[in-house]
Structure 1
Amino acid sequence: MTVDLLVPLLLPLAAWPMAQLVAPRLPPRVASWLLTGACLVLAAGSTAALMLLAFAGLSLIPAVADIGHWSTQALRDQDGVDVPVSITSGALLVVLAVLLTRTAVRYVRWARRLARELDLHSRDGGIVILPGAEPVAFAAPGRGGRIAISSGKLAALTPPERCALLAHERAHLAARHHVFLIALTVSATLNPLLRPLTSAACFALERWADETAAHRLGDRTVVAHAVAKAALAGRPHPGFALAATGGPVPRRVSALLGEPTGANAGHGMVTLLSTVVLSVTALSAQTALDSAADLHDGIELAQAANPFHHGHHHDTFTSWHEH
């Protein structure tokens, strides 16, 4: 079982080539869904593998074996449990639990602090105008979704570019990209090896919003200029907000000035690339499920080898029969 569980643990190493080869060749919307789903499945697979390895080690503890009525000696004879690996897996799970809890606390505090800050300013049609010369613009979830933009950012853009920037931020809110971002943050927390893939997915989200804004305005050049000027005039917004300055801005501008990604790829290429990503994620999930089934079967055999387990069932049956 230990060797099999190396598959979901090591598959996230394929995140980097997947991010480099697959993501740039897919339409941004498809890439966003596909990469986010892959991150979630790969993170779940590796976490499940660690849990199975840790539980396999716990199953050798006499106190745990007594609760489950199985024979620890029978489990050892199956040669499917590596105690040092199980201990290491348990320690990693504790670390991941702490990191995930800390990330959740940070997100809740950030969301509350941001909501209080935005509530202090006037709101017009879902747009909050922040006073000050510092160029700031981002989309914030909650309260129906709000777009925060500073007067300094508005002053740095022409009227068409302002429309492009607002269309970009509205695209984030309309497509609920903050849900994607939360899923990617959780995935990267559970498995740091997935960070190249989560970064590629975040870039795809920005490209998705860019293309939506370009389609709405009918002018890709204006959107490209708005993104470039917004990046030059400001800085990325800290925290968990989605902003027009996110991701590698030069790549986004270059993509907007060219043809839409995937326009000439054809359905065959999109299908092929999607199949590659889905195959890797399916392999991770299937291996974790098969290992869980193997562990379950091993415990059942260990229970069958435990004479006290049979006696317990016999006494229970006799007691029920007498009544």
Structure 2
Amino acid sequence: MRIAVYVPFLLSVLAPLGARPVSERCEPRLATWLLTASSLVLGTATTISLGLLAATGLIGVPQLAALGHWSATSAQRVDPTELSVSLLSGLLLGGAVLAAARMLWRRARTLAAAAVDAACMPTRDGLVVTEDDAPDAYALPGLPGLIVVSTGMLHTLDETEHGILLAHERAHLTAHHYAFVALAQLGAAANPLLRPLAKGVTYTIERWADENAATSTGDRRRVARTVGKVALAAHGTPAVARAGAALGILGRRSRRGPLAKAGPVPRRVAALLAPPLRRHPALTTLTAAVLAAATLATAEATHDLHHLLTAVGAH
């Protein structure tokens, strides 16, 4: 346990370095799966490791060991975890559990609110048009999910661009992109080091929807122009209030600067003007290796704790 229990923490430091390469070089659907799985698995592994460290150190405290009929002396001899490390791990574990629970609660509330809104809105073939001069469009999960578009957005785009917009938003609903975002954010809530992975997922789902729109229309350049046109139309317009579960074509606002440091919208436009990305075997294999290492290390550390509890049983 002395080494294996720390492996998930090391991987959590290294994994975010790969968030940008995966999101930029892998086919968007694959990138979304890889980043979501990485955030969820590493968040779970580090949380378990915190629990193992806390438990191992606390067994060495005579008063606490007596509750489980264990030998504190034997525990310190077999696996001498510092009490300070154990206490810090316990505090971090409590924070991780509370943050994850809070995130789940907030996500459940927003999804429930989205479902209620979707059920109450008058629709025509799953489309809701709102009287609003501010250009906006987003997918609202629910039973069924809806696409909400403002009149300002409809006036901004021509008929062909309307089809691109709807294809983009339908992709969010049919592929359940809100679930990927929620799972990635859950891992990041438990381990803040993983926030770049969750941020990457919010980008790759937009790229995924862009590619779906390009496939359905057969015109990548026209989709790129539509994404850029929507972003320019929305520039300087106050954000429209929407449920936290909503996903829209605008994504996050772009920032000025070279493409390497640009915001999501310029990167999405550049990706659409380039040939479609393919699966990246090297990054896929590396991600799988990282997740396998985190899983095996956590299993090994858990197995070691089991043996420790057996070895320090009451004599």
TM-score for the superposition, normalised by structure 1: 0.86
Give the structure 2 partner of residue 253 of structure 1: 269
Offset of 1:92 from its aligned partner? Answer: 1.0
Deviations 1:173-221 (A, max 9, x none): 1111111111011011111111112222221111111111100011112
Give the structure 2 partner of residue 95 of structure 1: 95
Give the structure 2 partner of residue 297 of structure 1: 307
Find the aligned partners of 1:114 and 1:152 in 2 and give their Cα distance. 22
Structure 2 unaligned spans of 5+: 253-263
Offset of 1:100 from its aligned partner? Answer: 2.0
Letter matched to residue 224 of structure 1: A
Superposition RMSD in Å: 2.0
Letter matched to residue 58 of structure 1: L
Of 89-98 and 286-295, the range deviating more from structure 2 = 89-98
Give the structure 2 partner of residue 315 of structure 1: none
Deviations 1:144-182 (A, max 9, x none): 211111111111111111110110010111111111111
Percent pairwise identity: 39
Structure 1 unaligned spans of 5+: 308-323
Deviations 1:238-289 (A, max 9, x none): 7232111115011001111111112xxxx6xx22221111111111111111
Question: Do 2:72 and 2:312's aligned partners in 1 also have CA atoms closer than 8 Å?
Answer: yes
Letter matched to residue 294 of structure 1: D
Summarize the alignment of residues 261-272 of structure 1 with structure 2, pairs less than 5 Å apart. Answer: 261-262=277-278, 270-272=280-282
Of 54-63 and 292-301, the range deviating more from structure 2 = 54-63
Letter matched to residue 240 of structure 1: A
Give the structure 1 partner of residue 149 of structure 2: 149
What's the secondary structure of 2:143's corresponding residue?
A: coil
Give the structure 2 partner of residue 77 of structure 1: 77
Question: Do 1:138 and 1:244's aligned partners in 2 also have CA atoms closer than 8 Å?
Answer: yes
Find the aligned partners of 1:102 and 1:244 in 2 and give their Cα distance. 27
Find the aligned partners of 2:49 and 2:5 in 1 and give their Cα distance. 6
Question: Do 2:203 and 2:251's aligned partners in 1 also have CA atoms closer than 8 Å?
Answer: yes
What's the secondary structure of 2:277's corresponding residue?
A: coil
1:184 partnered with 2:184: yes
Give the structure 2 partner of residue 318 of structure 1: none
Letter matched to residue 127 of structure 1: L
What's the secondary structure of 2:312's corresponding residue?
A: helix
Question: Do 2:40 and 2:187's aligned partners in 1 also have CA atoms closer than 8 Å?
Answer: yes
What's the secondary structure of 1:57's corresponding residue?
A: helix
Offset of 1:27 from its aligned partner? Answer: 0.9
Deviations 1:81-116 (A, max 9, x none): 221111111111211222223222322333344444
Letter matched to residue 307 of structure 2: D
**Bigger-Rg structure (1/2):** 1
Question: Do 2:4 and 2:301's aligned partners in 1 also have CA atoms closer than 8 Å?
Answer: yes
What's the secondary structure of 1:129's corresponding residue?
A: strand
Letter matched to residue 46 of structure 1: T
Give the structure 2 partner of residue 126 of structure 1: 126
Give the structure 2 partner of residue 276 of structure 1: 286
What's the secondary structure of 2:128's corresponding residue?
A: strand
Q: 1:63 to 1:126 in 2, by over 3 A?
A: farther
Letter matched to residue 150 of structure 1: S
1:244 partnered with 2:254: no
What's the secondary structure of 1:123's corresponding residue?
A: coil
Deviations 1:304-323 (A, max 9, x none): xx22xxxxxxxxxxxxxxxx
Summarize the alignment of residues 170-209 of structure 1 with structure 2, pairs less than 5 Å apart. Answer: 170-209=170-209
Give the structure 2 partner of residue 320 of structure 1: none
Of 244-253 and 18-27, the range deviating more from structure 2 = 18-27
Find the aligned partners of 2:303 and 2:7 in 1 and give their Cα distance. 16
Question: Do 1:2 and 1:80's aligned partners in 2 also have CA atoms closer than 8 Å?
Answer: no
Of 195-204 and 84-93, the range deviating more from structure 2 = 195-204
Letter matched to residue 133 of structure 2: A
Question: Do 1:169 and 1:244's aligned partners in 2 also have CA atoms closer than 8 Å?
Answer: yes
Q: 1:119 to 1:155 in 2, by over 3 A?
A: farther
TM-score for the superposition, normalised by structure 2: 0.88
Question: Do 1:118 and 1:128's aligned partners in 2 also have CA atoms closer than 8 Å?
Answer: no
